[in-house]
Amino acid sequence: MNNFKYKFTTILSFPLLLISCDYPDQDLQEADGHHAHHAEKLGNEPIVVTHFNGVTELFMDYSPLVQGISSNFAVHLTRMDNFKPIRAGTLKMKLVPENGNELVITKQNPSNPGIYLFEATPRFTGSARMEISLNHSDINSSHAISQVFVFASQSEIKPKVISKPHAEQITFLKEQQWRTDYKIEQAGYRDISYALPATGVLRLPASSIKVIPATASGTVLWSKKNQNLKVGMIVPKSMELFIIQPDAAWDSGLARLKEQYLLAKLECDKMEELFQQEAVAERRVQEARIRKNTLSESLSRMGVNMAAGEFLDLEAQVTTAEKGMITKIMVRPGQKIQQGDPLAMIKNTQTLVLEARVPSTRIQDMSIATDATFRMGAGQKTYRISELGGRPVSEKPLASGTSGFAHFLFEFDNADGQFIEGTSLAVQILGSEKKSCLAISVDAVQEELGDALVYIQSSGETIEKRFPKLGIQDGQWIEVKEGIDEGEQVVTKGATQIRLSSLGGVEMGHGHAH
C-alpha cells in the first residue's frame, strides 16, 4: 500500500465539502476536542466531514475505518431553510467499495434532534464511496462523499499533522447553533450597484388619503349597519358609514328631485310598454331611459338611500369610496352638519412612498437612481424597493423643502401592512452603474475595535474570526477585497452568541449527547 501524508482544504459551490486530510485517499478534517471519544476503540482522532447540498448540512464524525472493526458514527443534519435540526426521517448510510459488497446501515429516526448515532463494520479494504441519504414526508436529501478509505489494520493509520490555524478559531457546537437564531450564507460573486447613503421616511401618497364629506345638510347618525364605528377599523369599498337625516331645506330639494325621478320612471315604464306594442319609436324609449337614469344617479350621488329603485327613507347615505383604515372621525352622532363638512378620514396604506433625502452637495454622485434599499433600525432586515414591487417615482433628484438638501422618491407595495407611514429609515440609493465582485451579506459584518469583523464557519462546529478588507455596498451586499474566499460559509445570524461563547460568558449547549 502506498502510504503517504497529505493535507488539504477545499471550498466549492453547492454541493460543498470542507475537508482536511492526513490519511491515505480519505476525506478528513481536524476534529474538535469534544469529538475524540468516538475513536476510543482505535485510539485515534475521529474523522470529521462537513458537507452542504443546498437542502441540508451534513456534519459527521466517525472513527477511522478498519476492516472487521466497528466504527462509531455521529451524523448531524441541519435544515438549510431554517438552520434547525432534522427531527424525524429515515437515514441510510451506504459504503460502496471499488471491489466487494457494499455496507448499508439504516436508522429510522435521530437519537436526539438532529443527531443520528450508529456503528458500522466494513468487511473490505481500500477506497470506497460513502452515500448518506435522508427521507421524510417533508424533506429528502442526499450527500455523496468520495475517496473514503478503509484500512487493513490499525497500524496503517498514521498520526495527524496538525497545522497552525490561520485565524482565531471558536468552537460553536451544533446544539448551540440549533438553539439560537443562526444562519450562514456562501460568499459569492454578484453585481453590486454603486450606492449613495441617505436618510429617509415613509409617507403615504396624497391620493391615498380620503376625507369623507357630508352628502347633505342635516343630522348625522352612525349607520345602522355599523353602530361601533371607530378609529382603526379597516373598511371595504362602498361600506355605509353614516346616514344623514336632511334638514327642511335639503329635504324639500330632495322631495322635488324624488318627484321628478318618479315621474321619469312612470314615463319610461309607459314608453317601454308602448314600444312592446309597436306604438312608439325606439328613440322615445331611449330618451325616457336616459332621463330616469340621470335622475337616479343624481339621487345616488346625493346619498339618497334607495333599494330596487324604490325609496326606503328620505335620508342620505355616506359610503366609502375605497378600502382603507379609518384614521379620524370628526363628528358625533346627532351632530348638525352642512353639506361638504368632513365626517371622517380614511387612509389606504396599500402603497407607500419612500422619501430619501441627501445633501445637495452629494447629488453629483448619483445622476440617476434605479433602486434603493432601507433598514428600519440597527440590526434589522434590509428591504429592497424593487423586491417589494416598487420603482423610482423620480430617477432625478427633486428639490427639497429643507435648504441644502434634495430628495428621491420611490413607490412600493405595502398590501400586507408591514410598514407604517412616518417611520424613519437608513437608506442606500442605488445608481445604474454596477460592479461584479466577491460579496457577502451586510448582515455578516460586525465591528471590533473599529475594524470590520466577519465570522466564517470553516467546519460544522468551528468558527473563524476574520478581519477582511471590504469595499462598496448597496445596503444588502458588501464587496470583499481581501480576507474571504468564494464559497466560504459566512455567518449572517448568531454573531452575538458566537462572541459570548468564545468569551465563555454563556453556555448555549452542553456538548453532544452521544
pLDDT cut 70: percent of the chain above it: 83
Q: What pLDDT shows up at residue 251?
A: 59
Nearest to 84 by CA among 202, 16, 195, 183: 183
Range(s) of the chain covered by CATH 2.40.30.170: 184-204+350-503
Q: What pLDDT shows up at residue 94?
A: 95
Q: What is the pLDDT of residues 82-106, one digit of tens each?
A: 999 999 999 999 999 987 789 999 9
Cis, peptide link before residue 15, omega less than 30° from 0: yes
Q: What pLDDT shows up at residue 293?
A: 84
Alpha-carbon distance values, 226 to 149, 236, 345 (Å): 77, 12, 16
Residue 60 has pLDDT above 90, yes or no: yes
As beta bridge partners, residue 92 has: 106, 133
158: its cell numbers: 498514521
Q: What is the dihedral of CA 68, 70, 71, 73, to 10 degrees?
A: 130
Range(s) of the chain covered by CATH 2.60.40.1930: 16-163
Q: What is the pLDDT of residues 72-87, one digit of tens each?
A: 999 999 999 999 999 9
DSSP state of 23: S
SS (H, E, C) 200-243: EEEECCHHHEEEEECCCCEEEEECCCCCCCCCCCEECCCCEEEE
Q: What is the pLDDT of residues 257-299, one digit of tens each?
A: 777 888 888 888 888 888 888 888 888 888 888 888 887 777 7
Backbone angles phi, psi at 450, to 5 degrees: 85, -5
Q: At what angle do helices 282-301 and 248-276 cross, to 10 degrees?
A: 160
Name the strands in the sheet holding 324-329, side by side, starting at the edge strand that comes first in the sequence: 209-213, 342-347, 324-329, 234-235
CB 220 within 8 Å of CB 343: yes
CATH number of the domain located at residue range(s) 16-163 in this protein: 2.60.40.1930
490: its cell numbers: 459566512
**Which pLDDT band holds residue 509 (cuts at 50, 70, 90)?**
very low
**End-to-end Cα separation, the chain, in angstroms:** 34
Poorest-pLDDT segment among 28-42, 66-80, 228-242 = 28-42
* Residue 241 burial class via C-beta count within 10 angstroms: exposed 0-12, middle 13-18, buried 19 and up: buried
Q: What pLDDT shows up at residue 43?
A: 53
- Mean pLDDT of the region 456-485: 94
- Mean pLDDT of the region 339-347: 92
Tell how far CA 68 is from the center of its chain: 51
Q: What is the pLDDT of residues 382-408, one digit of tens each?
A: 899 999 999 999 888 888 777 888 889
* Widest pairwise Cα distance in the chain: 117
**Which pLDDT band holds residue 491 (cuts at 50, 70, 90)?**
very high
Q: What pLDDT shows up at residue 306?
A: 56
Q: What is the dihedral of CA 131, 136, 139, 140, to 10 degrees?
A: 30
Q: What is the pLDDT of residues 117-152, one digit of tens each?
A: 999 999 999 999 999 999 999 999 999 998 899 999
Count of CB atoms within 10 A of residue 214's CB?
21
Which CATH class, in words, describes the domain spanning 184-204+350-503? mainly beta
